Structure 1
Amino acid sequence: MEHISHFKDSGFKVNDIQLFHGLAPQEISAIQRTLDSCQIVSVQAGEIVIDSNSSGACLYVILEGTLAQASNVAKRQLESASIQYFAGECVGEISVLNEETSVATIAAVSESKLLLIDAACMWKMIDESNGVARNLLRLLSFRIRATNAQLRNRQKVGEFYRQLSMVDGLTGLHNRSWLNTQLPGLIEHAHATQTELSIIMVDLDHFKKFNDLHGHIAGDEALQAAAKVINNGLRPSDFAARYGGEEMLIILPNTSRESALAVAERLCERIRNAIIFPDKEKSLPHITASLGLASLRADQDGLSLIACADAALYRAKERGRDQVAL
């Protein structure tokens, strides 16, 4: 920072500063006398004004230019920062009030002129003017609301990406991470409420041969077609996840063995009739699936339940595939 003048010699007026808006004439006169000896400094674009790792009880009033909160002082990041401060605004009020380290790093977006008001001068003005105290409270209230809004937005973004991380990119079904996280809770709830729960393990038949014959792009389309059939065939309360490769797992809460069997047989038929290539000029390779069904027993955990469904799946394969086994 380069000292260029004092406030009394700068040509700036007290009314240029938001913190002193709406004050009585006698309050303005008292503040003018206090500010006359305060320094005005010049900072260059990218220069750090307040460092979050260092203390310094001082209020910085922006007379010209723009400042911004930043984790990086790169010019592009400063210009796109979500929190910026413009001429007439101030920063550093928290460090003045509690003489603690600043909670954020503030840097100059462009070449700026700043009025430096140290803690002693700031407290003097607060003591002498109810208007300054009132405006400072309004500023702090606004900053708190803005910070809370930013935190809520970050939580929403964080939740969005958390949900995104639980979705399989190819099929749009839940992924294995989601399954590992959610299945134990669903089973625990079923045990606690003594309600039924069934799962269906789905495996596309001869999928390696399908890929070798039609190519991996067609293989991806087959997986997507099967996933779409499964999604469209479930209730809103049911869940489907890609278990791995061409295997998918369906969770049916509050569903008996008999009802789950009806669901599995319906899905088996729909997968058999699914169209992979909508282009009528191409041959239409069809896919089939083997499905293994298991229903939750008392004191059974997720791994055991999946093992039962997997064993049923292999029985379906041994019996000729394209069918459901218990």
Structure 2
Amino acid sequence: MINSPEILRLIETATLFRGVPRETLDPLFRKANRVTLKQGEKLLSPDKINENVYIVVSGRLSVQATASTSDKPIATLSPGECVGEMSVLVDGVVSAYVVAATDCELFVIDYESFWLLIDGSNEAARNMLNILVHRVRLGNRIMADNLLYHDSFPDDDIIDGLTGLYNYHGIHRKFDRLILRCKVGKQPLCFIVLEVDGVEKAMDIVRDSHVVQSLRTIAQALLKFLRPDDHAARLVGGKFAVLLANTSLADAFATAERLRATVSETPILLPDGSTLQPETISAGVSEALPDDTLGTLIARADIALEQAIAAGRNCVVHG
């Protein structure tokens, strides 16, 4: 419980509480607590679930991509600003580190109190919408800066030059991020390994332009099935992989089946305008376990793929 009139007046001016009637805030103030952080202490990190919203009362917080205080912050939060609301809105999953840039004092709103406030006050709901708009704009600006940065450097280390998909190194980077979300947020993650039937001809891609176009056609088919958090890669030869975020094994199997059917019905268009008969693919599907590495996940999907090949090809098996 917070009793200090000075602190209460300061908190009332916070962005989240602007225009909210005092009678609406009083129950929140009676239940809320304060926490203090020393400079350099972590408040939030991506490896831990967060169920609180924090209002900065004094000091400054730094939002960072890493835990190192020497890194340039993504944003700095001053008195009256809040943090933690994004993770509360998405099942507690934290997307960045929040570190005390100076000694700090924070007002803490727990999960239940936060939702009671949003549900019970139009003013608070509008304030939260404005905060989220600001967060999205900040995110868009950061992404634009990153695109400018990456345009200055080659992506040869993570992009497959033949198809434009990720290569093994690229999918490994995405896997490391998604498996953490799987562990922390208890969201399912599935992996599809698929191979062009008759893959031995696909291995000789340098001498066979038809095979090159076949692989590119399959890559385009993969991209059509991807959602924003999904990722596809060409691993080697005619073998591809797909990471499906927040997807159950049953849904991943259904996606692989739809992909198999689509590929088998899509003619291969050659640069001269002529077409080849569609390819067929075999696929293996596996679901990530909390202690999985990319290697163990691929291994299980590979076993399922071998079973699909043994069953006559042009089919999907889950492990």
TM-score, scaled to structure 1: 0.48
Structure having the higher Rg: 1
TM-score, scaled to structure 2: 0.49
